[in-house]
Amino acid sequence: NPLICLGPSVSDPYPLQPPGSQNYGAIAPTTSTAQFLQTPGNISAKRSYLAVGVLCYINLLNYMDWFIVPGVLVDITKYFNISDSSAGLLQTVFIFCFLLSAPFFGYLGDRYSRKVILSAGIFLWSGVTLGSSFITESYSWIFFVSRGFVGIGTASYSTIAPTIIADLFEKDQRTCMLSVFYIFIPVGSGLGYVLASSVTQAAGHWHWAFRITPCIGVIAVALLILLVPDPTQDGADKPGAQSTDSSTWCEDVKSLSKNRSFIWSSLGVTAMAFVTGALGLWVPLFLDRAQVVHDLVPPCLQEPCKSPNSLIFGGITIVTGIVGVITGAGVARRYKKINAKADPLICAVGMLSSAPCLYLSIMLAERSILATYIFIALGEFFLALNWAIVADILLYVVVPKRQSTAIALQIFVSHLLGDAGSPYLTGVISDAVQTRQTDSHLGTFRSLQYSFILCVFIGVLGGGFFLLTALHVEEDRKEAQQLCRGFYIRL
């Protein structure tokens, strides 16, 4: 049986078919292309859908662990007695270890059993998260180190899991499944805030928030081992898997560096990561300070700090994430029928629209908390439009045998230049501005307010990167298809 080429997008307007017979998704593929559009024959549809359910569940857990710290950041800063810059460094350590590990897991994911790698990663991040809940206030440095190990564990999942979905589905099914998978990024992020805040309030200490997800992680490993197939192992259905050994990692990287759509879209994802990383860590604390300025809540002098902002922001993140991902995927599916550049153009619109919304949310916080919530929700909605689309772009402009490596490199670059530094940079700017402000609640609020403005400019820059992606996406998509077609001819 011929292998299946999943290089082009599932919603790709250019399926593998002879020249002159391309369509924009309006008609079914021709008979001559049927051999390229089969599904893996040894994996049932029922098992494939069940596998996606398990992977979505683990993705939910993954991002809950990411955002437990921001959900109780006010309590953590009081407990360890750290400044804004040190609090930002806490998230930077997590992301930095995450990005350094991603290329390593990408290399392994293209060559070895992905289920084994994923299981080891889940065990690592769950165990370290549980252990960090027992750290006392005199050993804050251990808490920083523990977040680094959690970042290493989560890197294995974020790098490899999307490629399993890509191997199990084709065409519109793959777009749908990837959209569902990426919905759980904002949903998991929002639940991280909600879990951290609610458990802390119920138990009376933020340590208990770190003891819930490890228990869920044990269940995740069992489900992964029992229910998720690995197409590379289960029948060698991964496209081009047999030819992976013919190229080295350096050759794969060299090839990807010539892929202009991959380069520009990765820079666009980097801008997204920069903005979401800064906002994800600091918005609850920013809203706390705004409410203190408005005399809506008293200043928190000792943890646990009773504030509803983590719960509210978590709820906003969940709702806007679900609506944004579904809207982005739906608009892309329809717009692609008339414009092959739809994906990067929608991403550009999302980034450019989010920038003014974020600016208004920052500037209006001193006058109206309600207006801040509204514009934060709009900004998150426009950012969420891109979650599933950017993954789809990568999967159809990169040949399958390099997809794990491509995802790993995109993760490395986007986090290195994006959310690895933005939380810390925001904290450093805030501390620098505070030295020029009066020592008051208004001064601490304005210092963080001014530091957020950088995110607005980065958002506009990200929109420009996606516009540049649109200039090259058709050419790079066709080249990926031709490489896949050549692979089948050799077979």
Every domain of the chain and the residues it spans? 42-490
Residue whose structure tokens are 């290089």: 7
Helix (H, G, I), strand (E, B) or coil at 305: coil
According to CATH, the topology of domain 42-490 is: Growth Hormone; Chain: A; (1.20.1250)
Phi, psi (rounded to 5 degrees) for 301: -100, -20
At 309, list the tokens: 């902002």
**Other CB atoms closer than 10 Å to residue 54's CB: what's the count?**
18
End-to-end CA distance of the chain: 10
The DSSP output letter for 469 is: H
Label residue 308 exposed, middle or buried (CB < 10 Å: 0-12, 13-18, 19+): middle
Beta-strand (E) ranges in 171-287?
none
Q: What's the pLDDT at 349?
A: 95
Give the amino acid at 5. C
Q: What's the pLDDT at 438?
A: 60
pLDDT along the chain (491 residues), means of 10: 35 37 34 39 79 91 87 84 82 85 80 86 90 86 91 86 81 75 84 87 86 88 87 49 58 88 94 90 85 72 67 88 88 88 94 95 89 93 88 84 81 85 86 71 81 92 96 90 62 45
pTM for this one? 0.73
Give the amino acid at 132. S
At 80, list the tokens: 């360890």
Count of alpha carbons within 13 Å of 400, Cβ hemisphere only?
A: 31
Cis preceding linkage at 304, omega within 30: yes
pLDDT, one tens digit per residue, over 128-154 is 999 988 888 888 889 999 999 998 988
CA distance 202 to 208: 9
